[in-house]
């Protein structure tokens, strides 16, 4: 099982392009150009571990596009699961998306008050999914 537990940034500034010294405000407005982070999910699924159970994450700020984006990722990369969440509710609610199913995992108010974290539910659910996959 590969549990890609964090959505990494889609953009970065290469070390070779980072300034050596503090950027001076007297130089005027700052303009930053960022590079795209290379996508590693495709080679992981297709070449490095084609028999593995692979879980990725999809975080969005717009709930209306979340499920479509998760399904697009499943179609594009051909892995098994996307844990989809919205930035505002990411600590209490996720939707586990597979090719055939969308399962919402929620923390109740009591669970939040007891200090439970959504990751406990995610890992428990995915463990059962992995067993079925095996």
C-alpha 36 chain-centroid distance:
16
The answer to the question of residue 61 being in a domain is yes
26 domain residue, yes or no: no
Would 125 be classed as within a structural domain? yes
d(CA 103, CA 93): 11
What is residue 7's predicted lDDT score, i.e. its pLDDT? Answer: 60
For the chain, 134 residues long, give each residue's pLDDT as a single digit of tens: 998 876 667 889 999 999 899 989 998 998 889 999 888 899 999 999 999 999 999 999 999 999 999 999 999 999 999 999 999 999 999 999 999 999 999 999 999 999 999 999 999 999 999 999 99
- Domain annotation covers residue 20: no
Query: Domain of 55?
Result: 2-8+38-133
Total structural domains within the chain: 1
> How far apart (Å, rounded) are the C-alpha atoms in residues 133 and 111?
29
- Residue 123 lies inside a defined structural domain of this protein: yes
Instruction: Confirm whether 25 is domain-assigned.
Output: no
CA dist 95 and 59 (Å) reads 11
pLDDT at 9: 75
Q: What is the pLDDT of residue 4?
A: 82
CATH number at residue 125: 3.40.50.10300
Assigned domain for 52 exists: yes
Distance of CA 15 to the CA centre of its chain: 24
Q: Does residue 124 belong to any structural domain of this protein?
A: yes
């Amino acid at each position: 099982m590969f549990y890609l537990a964090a959505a990494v940034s889609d953009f970065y500034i290469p070390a070779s392009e980072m300034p050596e010294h503090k950027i001076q405000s007297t130089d005027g407005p700052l303009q930053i150009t960022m590079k795209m982070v290379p996508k590693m999910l495709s080679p992981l699924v297709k070449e490095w571990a084609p028999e593995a159970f692979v879980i990725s994450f999809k975080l969005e700020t717009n709930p209306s596009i979340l499920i479509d984006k998760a399904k697009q990722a499943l179609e594009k990369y051909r892995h098994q699961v996307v844990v989809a969440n919205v930035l505002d509710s990411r600590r209490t609610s996720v939707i586990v998306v597979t090719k055939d199913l969308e399962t919402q995992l929620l923390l109740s108010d009591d669970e939040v008050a007891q200090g439970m974290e959504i990751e406990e539910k995610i890992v428990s659910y995915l463990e059962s999914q992995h067993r079925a996959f095996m």
